[in-house]
Structure 1
Amino acid sequence: MSNDHDRDIDAGLILAAEECPPDTFSKYHSFSAYDDVIIRKLSSHGPVLVRGSRGSGKSALLLEAHRRMRGEGNILPVYVSLRYLPLLQSDGAEYIEHFCIILSKAIQKELQDRGISFDFGIAGDQLTLQLGLTSLSQNVNKRIVLLFDDAAHIGREKPLEVFFDLFRTLSSNLTSCKASIYPGVTKFGVRFDVFNDSTVIDINRSDVSAGSNFFPDVIRARYPKLADKGSFSDRLSPAQFANILGRAVVGNLRGFILACNRFEEKERIGIPELTSCFLDMATDYFWPLMDEVAPKLGVYEPLIEPARQVVELVVDHAARPVKEKTRSIAQDRVLIHRQIVSHYAKIFEILEYLGFVARREASRALKSGGRGPVFAVNLCHLLEAVPSRRLTFEMIEEWIKGTPDPSEIHISGTTFHEVVLPELPDEHGLAILERPVSVLGKSKTYPYGLTKDMIDRLENAGIRSVGQLATTTNQELDRIDYIGSAKINRIRDVVYQAIWM
Structure 2
Amino acid sequence: MVDILYRTEDLRKEEINEYFVETEVDRNIIDALKGRNPVVVVGSRGVGKSFLLKKAELELDDEFVDDRILPVYISFIKGTLLGTKDDDVFSAWMVARIARAVLAKIKKKGLMVSLNYTRAAITDSAGAPVELDRLEDIINSMEELWRSDDAPNRDDIRAIPDVEELKDAIETICEELNIRRFALLFDEAAHIFAPSQQRAFFSLFRDLRSPYVTCNAAVYPGITRFGNTFQPHHDATMLNLERDILSAEYLSNMFDIVSKQVDSSAIRKISRNRSNFNLLAYSSTGNPRMLLKLVSRSHNMSSSEVNSTSKDFFREDIWSEHSQLAERYGGHRDLIEWGRTFITQSVLPSLKERNEKSIALERPTTAYFWVSGKSSGQVMEALRILSYTGVVSQETKGLRATKSETGTRYLVNLGLLLSQEPTPSDSARLVYESLSLKRMIEYTSNSGYFSSINAFEFQVDDTGPELHNILSQPASRLDLTDWQHSKLEELDLRTIGEVLDADESVFLEAYYVGTHRARIMRNAAVAAVLEYISG
What amino acid is aligned across from residue 333 of structure 1 in structure 2?
Y
TM-score (norm 2): 0.78
Secondary structure (helix, strand or coil) at the match of 2:214 reads strand
The CA distance in 2 between the partners of 1:443 and 1:46, in whole Å, is: 37
Q: Which residue of 1 aligns with 2:188?
A: 150
What amino acid is aligned across from residue 217 of structure 1 in structure 2?
D
The CA distance in 2 between the partners of 1:80 and 1:43, in whole Å, is: 15
Mapped pair 1:408 → 2:442: yes
Moved more, 181-190 or 442-451: 442-451
The CA distance in 1 between the partners of 2:84 and 2:479, in whole Å, is: 28
Mapped pair 1:232 → 2:264: no
Secondary structure (helix, strand or coil) at the match of 1:151 reads strand
**Aligned-CA RMSD value:** 3.3
The CA distance in 1 between the partners of 2:492 and 2:520, in whole Å, is: 15
Q: How far did residue 331 of structure 1 move?
A: 2.7
Mapped pair 1:314 → 2:339: no
Q: How far did residue 103 of structure 1 move?
A: 1.3
The CA distance in 1 between the partners of 2:336 and 2:13, in whole Å, is: 36
> 311, 318, 337: which one pairs with 1:305?
337
Mapped pair 1:497 → 2:531: yes
The CA distance in 2 between the partners of 1:446 and 1:224, in whole Å, is: 18
Q: Is the CA contact 2:48–2:288 (under 8 Å) kept in the aligned structure 1? A: yes
Q: Is the CA contact 1:147–1:179 (under 8 Å) kept in the aligned structure 2? A: yes
The CA distance in 2 between the partners of 1:341 and 1:115, in whole Å, is: 55
The CA distance in 2 between the partners of 1:447 and 1:311, in whole Å, is: 29
Deviations 1:176-235 (A, max 9, x none): 0000111123421221112211111111214333443432332332346565597335xx
Deviations 1:221-275 (A, max 9, x none): 2346565597335xx56xx944x53432322221122122233434xx55x5544
> 399, 404, 407: which one pairs with 1:364?
399
1:84-483 alignment runs, 5 A limit: 84=78, 85-86=80-81, 89-117=84-112, 118=115, 119=117, 121=122, 122=130, 123-142=160-179, 143-212=181-250, 213-223=252-262, 225=264, 231-233=271-273, 236=274, 241-242=277-278, 244-266=279-301, 269=302, 273-297=305-329, 299-312=331-344, 313-321=346-354, 328=360, 331-340=366-375, 342-386=377-421, 391-399=427-435, 402-419=436-453, 421=456, 423-424=458-459, 427-431=462-466, 433-435=468-470, 437=472, 439-441=474-476, 450-451=485-486, 457-458=492-493, 466=496, 470=500, 472=501, 474=503, 478=505, 482=509
Unaligned runs of 5+ in 1: 1-10, 460-464
Secondary structure (helix, strand or coil) at the match of 2:532 reads helix
Q: How far did residue 140 of structure 1 move?
A: 1.4
Moved more, 211-220 or 418-427: 418-427
The CA distance in 2 between the partners of 1:421 and 1:254, in whole Å, is: 34
Deviations 1:317-343 (A, max 9, x none): 2123357x5754863111222223754
Alpha-carbon spacing, 1:375–1:341, altered in 2? closer, same or farther (3 Å):
farther
The CA distance in 2 between the partners of 1:14 and 1:353, in whole Å, is: 22
The CA distance in 2 between the partners of 1:481 and 1:200, in whole Å, is: 44
Q: How far did residue 71 of structure 1 move?
A: 0.9
The CA distance in 2 between the partners of 1:302 and 1:230, in whole Å, is: 42
Q: Is the CA contact 2:244–2:286 (under 8 Å) kept in the aligned structure 1? A: yes
The CA distance in 2 between the partners of 1:146 and 1:215, in whole Å, is: 29
Q: Is the CA contact 1:357–1:375 (under 8 Å) kept in the aligned structure 2? A: yes
Unaligned runs of 5+ in 2: 123-129, 131-159, 511-517
Mapped pair 1:47 → 2:38: yes
| % same residue | 23
The CA distance in 2 between the partners of 1:211 and 1:487, in whole Å, is: 35
1:3-14 alignment runs, 5 A limit: 13-14=4-5
Q: Is the CA contact 2:72–2:105 (under 8 Å) kept in the aligned structure 1? A: yes
Q: How far did residue 290 of structure 1 move?
A: 1.3
The CA distance in 1 between the partners of 2:326 and 2:482, in whole Å, is: 17
What amino acid is aligned across from residue 332 of structure 2 in structure 1?
Y
Q: How far did residue 12 of structure 1 move?
A: 6.6
Q: Is the CA contact 2:73–2:187 (under 8 Å) kept in the aligned structure 1? A: yes
What amino acid is aligned across from residue 392 of structure 2 in structure 1?
V
Q: Which residue of 1 aligns with 2:8?
A: 17
Q: Is the CA contact 1:51–1:180 (under 8 Å) kept in the aligned structure 2? A: yes
Secondary structure (helix, strand or coil) at the match of 2:41 reads strand
Alpha-carbon spacing, 1:187–1:396, altered in 2? closer, same or farther (3 Å):
closer
Q: Which residue of 2 aligns with 1:3?
A: none
Deviations 1:46-69 (A, max 9, x none): 211111111111101100000100
The CA distance in 1 between the partners of 2:7 and 2:499, in whole Å, is: 20
Moved more, 174-183 or 204-213: 204-213
The CA distance in 2 between the partners of 1:204 and 1:230, in whole Å, is: 24
Q: Is the CA contact 1:161–1:189 (under 8 Å) kept in the aligned structure 2? A: yes
Deviations 1:15-64 (A, max 9, x none): 12123222322233322132111111101102111111111111011000
Q: Is the CA contact 2:329–2:464 (under 8 Å) kept in the aligned structure 1? A: no
Alpha-carbon spacing, 1:192–1:53, altered in 2? closer, same or farther (3 Å):
same
Q: How far did residue 112 of structure 1 move?
A: 2.3
> 67, 70, 83: which one pairs with 2:61?
70
Mapped pair 1:29 → 2:20: yes
TM-score (norm 1): 0.83
Alpha-carbon spacing, 1:341–1:257, altered in 2? closer, same or farther (3 Å):
farther
Q: How far did residue 485 of structure 1 move?
A: 3.8
Alpha-carbon spacing, 1:443–1:52, altered in 2? closer, same or farther (3 Å):
closer
Alpha-carbon spacing, 1:247–1:360, altered in 2? closer, same or farther (3 Å):
farther
Alpha-carbon spacing, 1:361–1:274, altered in 2? closer, same or farther (3 Å):
farther
Q: How far did residue 395 of structure 1 move?
A: 2.4
Q: Is the CA contact 1:440–1:449 (under 8 Å) kept in the aligned structure 2? A: no
Alpha-carbon spacing, 1:429–1:202, altered in 2? closer, same or farther (3 Å):
closer
Moved more, 207-216 or 345-354: 207-216
Secondary structure (helix, strand or coil) at the match of 1:194 reads coil
Q: Which residue of 2 aligns with 1:462?
A: none
Q: Is the CA contact 1:299–1:428 (under 8 Å) kept in the aligned structure 2? A: no
What amino acid is aligned across from residue 56 of structure 1 in structure 2?
V
What amino acid is aligned across from residue 500 of structure 1 in structure 2?
S
What amino acid is aligned across from residue 280 of structure 1 in structure 2?
D
Q: How far did residue 489 of structure 1 move?
A: 2.7
Secondary structure (helix, strand or coil) at the match of 1:25 reads helix
The CA distance in 1 between the partners of 2:488 and 2:29, in whole Å, is: 44
